[in-house]
């Protein structure tokens, strides 16, 4: 069966909100678990003996339609190894709808809203499904959990039952299949130039963010030639998006990339408005203090390229980074003629709330079109999804590829990537890339960047593995908050509020950090502004839904 592409031009200009959602929703209205039986007419290609530990191979060739998010760093290729082996070894091919990553969210909404969504809707984060539930365009996958044995086993073995319950919608069903992680996702912190920090006499990572500030001051004093000890990236769309997000957990709040208008207060047992809490104010005040003291570049709308160039050229000594950007920075130093400049990712500093990691071990996942349940291969599709995204074998295949083709094993079983293939910092400079040339380690087919701790660590250099282990083993994960199950009317009522409140908070945050607004003089006025935009109304709705969900579960 050939792999084909479908044009999206016919959908251009269609507004999702103006299109009647189509499709059907399977399963009973009181669905709380997998309890729908798939008949023989919808079991073409399905295996009779499929289960945990069984390799999925369709009993006859099947072709699933797939909404494919096309990443610019590894543009999809029809002759990729991943497609060849899924076809040859598993009897699966795809009718792809290829959508550039930059357009994916918008065009995904258009396709789902028009009733034209393919069977599988890739690279989708939890929460995005709510807008499509009322029209029945996406499948209530919780009706079919019995057909996902590997998924169920991972949920049980990794203690994710409570997390899974938070994905239920107001009707009690789950529509989004998340990527699962055995351990929390920890990648982001701050990267420092060790030579400039050592010149200041600083050789240890800061234990707290306050100590980090003190170290920045020492770096500034010892290196007068630099413009600022820190000039940050990932700040053009959301002010200090990465830095504030990393900081916020240890201040008992959420900010930057992780910002949401509602934050669960464990002591009060209810949601509070994030952007006006004392904890959020403390995070913003800390960042504003860095700018005021000349320790942080006030250009908080600069592009990534500008920030990275300042770091590479020596105009700054610190920049936000993650476990992947270390290789990026080192390459740029070398390309600029500076050789092997010593840099490292510091351990995430603690704060007033302790030394913690954010809650949640779910990541991007899948939606399944409700029309897939009408296809003769429906049961086979569920088995394939369960094998590829949740079985140990499928996860290894999606990440590493095929033993003997892309990797080998040492005597102790350790996976070793072929020398001519690169992935992140492994075999940097090799002529081929695992994702771009083979299609593996691809966000469409590998939901949790490895899922199990073993697979996550298997793709790390010793440096990154050591850093990651120190974060995971030395910090406590914040518990997942309870989910307020908003119904369709409540979602509609809060949608506009959410947007205008988020915009107001982010604008004010930028103003406070850059000094355009005074925290001491303008904070109360800002709180009043937020209240006038409906903060209390939002909280009333969310907490009412939370109370309702609690009462129904009693």
- Cα separations in angstroms, 380 against 42, 147, 314, 384, 385: 8, 10, 56, 6, 9
Contacts of 110 (CB under 8 A, 6+ apart): 8, 11, 14, 16, 19
Mean pLDDT of all residues belonging to the chain: 91
Hey, what domains does the chain have and what are their CATH numbers?
4-184+362-396 (3.40.190.10), 187-357+480-554 (3.40.190.10), 400-477 (no CATH)
Q: How confident is the model at residue 17 (pLDDT cuts 50, 70, 90)?
A: very low
The Cα 217–Cα 212 span in angstroms is 9
The Cα 406–Cα 420 span in angstroms is 9
Q: Which tokens go with 93? A: 């091919």
Q: How confident is the model at residue 178 (pLDDT cuts 50, 70, 90)?
A: very high
Q: Which tokens go with 320? A: 């936000």
The Cα 144–Cα 167 span in angstroms is 15
Q: How confident is the model at residue 34 (pLDDT cuts 50, 70, 90)?
A: low
Torsion angle of C-alpha atoms 413, 466, 451, 265, degrees rounded to 10? 160
The answer for 56, left when phi > 0, alpha when psi is -120 to 50, beta otherwise, is beta
SS (H, E, C) 62-109: EEEEEEEEECCCCCCCCCCHHHHHHHHHHCEEEEEEEEEHHHHHHHHH
State pLDDT tens for residues 400-414. Answer: 999 999 999 999 999
Q: Strands 270-273, 177-180: parallel, antiparallel or unpaired by DSSP?
A: unpaired
**Residue 264 confidence (pLDDT):** 96
The pTM score is 0.84
How many Cα atoms within 13 Å fall on the side-chain side of residue 12? 6
9: three-class secondary structure by DSSP: helix
Concatenated DSSP letters for 224-244?
TTSSBSB--SS-SSSTTHHHH
Count of H-run helices and E-run strands, the chain? 18, 17
State pLDDT tens for residues 471-519. Answer: 999 999 998 899 888 888 888 889 889 999 999 999 999 999 999 999 9
State pLDDT tens for residues 272-312. Answer: 999 999 999 999 999 999 999 999 999 999 999 999 999 99
State pLDDT tens for residues 113-140. Answer: 999 999 999 999 888 888 888 889 999 9
Concatenated DSSP letters for 252-291?
TS--GGG--SEEEETTTTEEEEGGGSHHHHHHHHHHHHHH
State pLDDT tens for residues 430-439. Answer: 999 999 999 9
The Cα 386–Cα 372 span in angstroms is 15
The Cα 464–Cα 186 span in angstroms is 11
437: three-class secondary structure by DSSP: coil
């Amino acid at each position: 069966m050939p792999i084909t592409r479908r044009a999206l031009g016919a959908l251009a200009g269609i507004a999702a909100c103006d299109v009647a959602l189509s499709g059907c929703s399977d399963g009973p209205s009181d669905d709380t678990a997998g309890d729908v039986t798939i008949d023989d007419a919808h079991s073409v290609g399905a295996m009779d003996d499929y289960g945990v530990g069984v390799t999925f191979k369709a009993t006859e060739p099947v072709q699933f339609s797939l909404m494919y998010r096309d990443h610019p760093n590894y543009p999809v290729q029809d002759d990729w190894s991943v497609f060849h082996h899924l076809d040859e070894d598993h009897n699966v091919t795809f009718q792809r709808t290829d959508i550039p990553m930059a357009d994916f969210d918008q065009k995904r909404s258009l396709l789902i809203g028009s009733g034209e969504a393919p069977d599988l809707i890739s690279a989708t984060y939890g929460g995005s499904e709510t807008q499509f539930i009322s029209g029945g365009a996406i499948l209530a996958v919780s009706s079919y959990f019995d057909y996902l044995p590997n998924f169920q086993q991972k949920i049980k073995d990794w203690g994710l039952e409570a997390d899974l319950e938070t994905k239920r919608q107001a009707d009690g069903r789950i529509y989004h299949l998340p990527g699962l992680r055995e351990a929390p996702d920890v990648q982001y912190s701050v990267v420092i130039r060790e030579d400039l920090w050592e010149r200041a006499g600083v050789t240890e990572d800061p234990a707290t963010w306050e100590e980090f500030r003190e170290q920045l001051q020492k770096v500034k004093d010892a290196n007068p030639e630099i413009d600022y000890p820190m000039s940050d990236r990932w700040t053009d769309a959301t002010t200090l998006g990465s830095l504030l997000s990393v900081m916020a957990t240890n201040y008992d709040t959420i900010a930057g990339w992780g910002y949401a208008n509602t934050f669960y207060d464990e002591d009060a047992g209810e949601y509070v408005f994030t952007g006006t809490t004392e904890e959020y104010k403390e995070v913003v005040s800390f960042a504003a203090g860095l700018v005021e003291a000349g320790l942080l570049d006030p250009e908080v709308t600069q592009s990534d390229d500008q920030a990275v160039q300042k770091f590479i050229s020596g105009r700054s000594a610190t920049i936000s980074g993650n476990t992947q950007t270390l290789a990026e920075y080192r390459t740029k130093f070398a390309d600029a003629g500076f050789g092997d400049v010593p840099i490292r990712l510091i351990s995430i500093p603690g704060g007033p709330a302790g030394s913690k990691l954010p809650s949640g071990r779910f990541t991007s996942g899948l939606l399944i079109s409700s029309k897939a349940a009408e296809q003769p291969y429906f049961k086979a599709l569920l088995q394939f999804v369960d094998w590829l995204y949740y079985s140990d074998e499928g996860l290894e295949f999606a990440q590493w590829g095929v033993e003997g083709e892309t990797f080998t094993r040492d005597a102790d079983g350790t996976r070793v990537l072929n020398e001519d293939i690169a992935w992140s910092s492994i075999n940097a400079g090799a002529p081929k890339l695992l994702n771009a040339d083979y299609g593996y380690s691809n966000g469409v087919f590998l939901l949790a960047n490895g899922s199990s701790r073993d697979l996550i660590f298997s793709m790390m250099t010793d440096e990154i593995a050591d850093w990651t282990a120190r974060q995971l083993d030395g910090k406590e994960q914040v518990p997942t908050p309870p989910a307020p199950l908003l119904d369709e009317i409540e979602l509609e009522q809060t949608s506009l509020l959410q947007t205008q409140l988020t915009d107001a908070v982010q604008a004010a945050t930028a103003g406070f950090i850059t000094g355009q607004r005074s925290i001491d003089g303008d904070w109360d006025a800002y709180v009043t502004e937020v209240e006038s935009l409906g903060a209390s109304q939002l909280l009333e709705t969310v907490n009412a839904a939370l109370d309702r969900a609690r009462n129904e579960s009693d």
